[in-house]
Amino acid sequence: MGKHGERRYKAEQVLEAIKDSAGIVSNVARKLGCDWHTARRYIDEYTSAQAAFDGEMQRVNDLGEIELIKLMQSGDLGAIKYRLSSKAKDRGYGEQMQITGTGKAGAFLLGWAEDDTAEDQGHPDNQNGLPPASKAA
């Protein structure tokens, strides 16, 4: 805000500065010609700017996911493991640990969640860290 409560930047100016900023406040500030804190304050002040900034961050996240998928398609094992451990936990990938308290003087039980087994959770006994193609009955 200016000296007498007037706004230095209008919503349209902030929205324009957000375009192609990659969701980085410093980029918005540079485009507006102000410091980081001022840019952040204006982004937070205008509802339309908040939505545009969030959209810009999601656009950049999408670009990252596109590149990650390209790496996976080329067989990059690191990319594959990262994607599965972060986005396929519901399928049994990832390292999950259950921590429960006993309620007594800070004693805790640490262990794998009940449905996690060596056969389907990347346990050291499972060399490839992948679930088996099928489980024998």
| 68-116 confidence digits (pLDDT tens) | 999 999 999 999 999 999 888 888 887 755 556 665 665 555 555 555 4
Alpha-carbon distances of 114 from 64, 99, 110, rounded to whole Å:
34, 11, 12
pTM value > 0.85: no
The mean pLDDT of 5-19, rounded to a whole number, is 91
User: Is pLDDT above 50 for 137?
Assistant: no
Q: What are phi and psi of 67, to 5 degrees?
A: -65, -35
Non-local CB neighbours of 121 within 8 Å, separated by 6+ positions: 92, 94, 95, 96, 112
pLDDT above 90 as % of the chain: 56
